[in-house]
Amino acid sequence: MNRRDFFMTSAAIGAGAALASVGKVSAIDMATVAENVKKAKLRFACYWGGLFPAENDADRIKKMRELGFEGIELSGDGGGVKDKKQMFIDEGFEVCSLCFGSVGGAVVSEDPSRRQGGIDALKRALENAAYFGAKAVVYVPAFNGQTKLGHVEIRKILMDTLPALGEFAVECGTHITLEPLNRTEAWFLRQVADGAQIARDCKTEGVATMGDFYHMAWEEPSDMGAFISGGDRIKHVHLGNGPQPPRRTLPGEDDRPFADGFLGLKFIGYDGFCSFECGVAAPDKFEAVRRSIAYCRSEWEKATF
Ligand code: MG
């Protein structure tokens, strides 16, 4: 065990002991953690149509398979590509998530007349998630400038709104997955723990959260700690480098480490998808993604107790 492994192991065991001692998440003990580590998987997804060029759908599918992708993330509410569902199934891919966004911050707008439209749009996305079998509808309450309300008011609206929407998500077999962003994009909801607590306060399994390594590089003092805080509320992960130029590139294209966060994902037994949500710095994008996947796999292996 080298010095880095020693510290990572010590930190993980310490975190486990701390969690058990405060009784906050009583289901977690070290035996559970050991089971979680066995259960955890690194499964890759990416935006349909993104990351690297392809001549057509068949070429994209072929390249995604060659690279080892298993999942597909759809943009918006996914309604524009409903006709591709059977192709995704036939080719063995799982639609893991809809990157829904914020609907202009409508749900938490200072103008109450806008909120119902946002709720309706979110419900349509949840129905589309049910159609595709996607487990996560990635939702941002508001980007900066999309609402004039403050944090206390936004949180109250979410508490008034999300529990019922969360129950609707349960019926749809999916999750409203709150995405914490960095402060340049949203001051409200920047940390994974905050997303997890909002989800827990909603008292429905239909509200969840996620971690995006890009945003986490800005906002989280510990990637591992963030995912442990999220616990079983983590239903999705986005991969991308941090803010240093060229920002938000592929994992491995700069020196942003991933093993620490992956250790957190192992700790909680995460076996959902890690979806690339980033640009590509290298000119040959396809080969760059291949290298990045190899890098992520090596970071996953490095994340040991
Ligand atoms: Mg993201």
Predicted pLDDT of residue 24: 52
214 CA from centroid of ligand 1 (Å): 7
- 212 Cα–ligand 1 center, Å: 5
Neighbours of ion ligand 1 (CB under 5 A): 212, 238, 277
Tell me how far the alpha carbon of residue 245 lies from the centroid of ligand 1, in angstroms.
18
Distance 254 CA to ligand 1 centre (A): 18
Confidence of residue 7 (pLDDT cuts 50, 70, 90): very low
Q: From ligand 1's centre to the CA of 99, what distance in Å?
A: 8
Q: How many Å apart are CA 134 and CA 263, to the nearest integer? A: 25
* Distance between Cα 7 and ligand 1 center (Å): 29
CA of 190 to the centre of ligand 1 (A): 12
Distance from the CA of 153 to the center of ligand 1, in angstroms? Answer: 24
State in Å: Cα 276 to ligand 1 middle.
9
Residue 186's pLDDT band (boundaries 50, 70, 90)?
very high
Looking at residue 243, what is its pLDDT? 92
- C-alpha 275 – ligand 1 centre gap (Å): 9
CA of 179 to the centre of ligand 1 (A): 7
* Gap from CA of 250 to ligand 1 centroid (Å): 13
Ligand 1 mean position, distance from CA 227 (Å): 15
pLDDT tens track for 58-80 = 999 999 999 999 999 999 999 99
**Token pair 């491995």: residue:** 252
Residue 180 Cα to ligand 1 middle (Å)? 8
Instruction: Find the 22 Cα to ligand 1 centroid distance in Å.
Output: 31
Phi and psi angles of residue 218, each rounded to the nearest 5 degrees, phi first:
-80, -40
CA of 184 from ligand 1 middle (Å) equals 13
Instruction: For residue 20, name the pLDDT band (cuts at 50, 70, 90).
Output: very low
Q: Cα of 277 to ligand 1 centre, how many Å?
A: 6
**Cα 224 to ligand 1 centre (Å):** 17
Distance from residue 295's CA to the centre of ligand 1 (Å):
20
Ligand 1 centre to CA of 8 (Å) is 26
Q: Per DSSP, what are the bridge partners of residue 236? A: 210
| Cis peptide, bond prior to residue 257, ω within 30 of zero | no
Convert the pLDDT of each residue in 88-119 to its tens digit: 999 999 999 999 999 999 999 999 999 999 99
Q: How confident is the model at residue 29 (pLDDT cuts 50, 70, 90)?
A: confident
211 Cβ neighbours under 8 A, 6+ residues apart: 180, 192, 220, 223, 226, 227, 230, 234, 237, 238, 261
Percent of the chain with pLDDT over 90: 88
pLDDT over 70, % of the chain: 91
* 73 DSSP β-pair partners: 47, 97
Greater model confidence, 53 or 10: 53
Model confidence band, residue 30 (pLDDT cutoffs 50, 70, 90) = confident
β-partners of residue 176 are 137, 207
